[in-house]
Structure 1
Amino acid sequence: MSGGVGPSSDISLPKNENFHHTKSQSHQQYRGIFSFRQLNMLAIIIVFSSSGMVSLEDFSFVLFSLIYIFFLSKIAFPKISPQTNPPIFNNKILNLYVSVGALIGLFLPIAYIFEGIYEGDKEGIKAAAPHVFLLASQVFMEGVTFNDKFSLPIRVFVPVFYNSRRVFTIMEWLTSEISKVDQAEYGGNMRRVNMGRGLAAANMVFWCYNLFGFLLPVYLPKAFKTYYGGKSND
């Protein structure tokens, strides 16, 4: 991840990058078209889309990101051959950061949604689903850009683009959870109300920090410095 949910999303992109560049290119040839992580994320995307929990707006956003990534890779940030993308970070603390992001951003919200199905909390499911769908899409898209056909700025674009979008979906999720006790049709209990509020608030804090405290001020400048530094040496 690089600000996502694992070694292939928002926060784990640095880790993913280190992992892939410490392995030989021949190792990548045995990964197939999609990695195991991507297949898991694709399954989440399909389930959420087929269940009607994903709005047309969010689905269109993912489709647009795919098209725009290929546009940027051809026009703005083409691959600099024979330049390789060296790892930007080599810090074991990022492993913990990635794990926390995966737990807060993906695993707990999925558990919250499944419990909501059992509890009949339709509003809670509806509010949390966009964030999970977009985060799963982000992890999948980061995997797409993690090959030698895409330059480093393209890899950075994915977590920044998706994280920016998800901040708004998390804000809507938090607003929904805060107002939930005033909704007569809600049949859940206060334990779930408090759990939903805490989870939404934790995601808001974590991903806002990820975007404004890590991706934009740290990861993005380093990536561009590496990219343009290699370009000037060609």
Structure 2
Amino acid sequence: MTTPDHQSPTPDPSAPESPDRIYRSPGGLAGGVLLLALVLWLGIDALVSGHGRTPWLALAGMILVIPLVTAFTLRPAVYANEERLRIRNPFRVIVLPWGSVASLRSGYSNEVVATSGTKFQLWALPVSLRARKKATRQTARKAAGDSRGSALGGLTGGAPGGPAPAPTAPTRAQTDKIMDDLRELAETHQSSGRAQGEPSVRWAYEIMGPAVAGAVVLAILLAMG
């Protein structure tokens, strides 16, 4: 009796070829945790020790504020792999195959431009002008140090015609480095067959729904006096 051959499972064509690189804002995460802790502390205290309408107002306020704080601090993230860029903003999730990405821009904000001309801001990668200025100063100090080192080498009898020192790579702010990584992914995989398709946008109703409900309840309570 013969036994059937064990065949390897057919790979899923929809499965991504590479794991996601995930980019988030450490400052946003830390600020969100602190804000949520403060809201919960004040809200629970009002629920426990409040009188009259105070507990209901506190409950409605928490239902409104907690989703909004989560949306703008903990939720934003950027996911990138060899096939597509997925942007999770406060109220939307945008999926852009690399073939639909025209450019990635860094100015006063970081954004991606689709081939259709539509722009999407990367909330998870906020621009820090302070970090850019710090990186510029560090680059200038390194360049000045290299110049002094070259001059000192010449004064101490360095071999003429020797190899010139390698130029110092400019220091970059963290979010600018991430944008460089995303541009490299886009340039490398833009023509790949698996990176083609149309952008898709989905609204985050799981955030918007509770926030709207909390706002309605809070408005009704305030209107009732």
Q: Specify if TM > 0.5.
A: no
Please state which structure has a larger fraction of its residues in helix: 1
Please state which structure has a larger fraction of its residues in strand: 2
Report which of the two structures shows the higher radius of gyration computed on alpha carbons: 2
Report the TM-score, using the length of structure 2 for normalisation: 0.29
Greater relative contact order (Cα < 8 A, sep 6+): 1
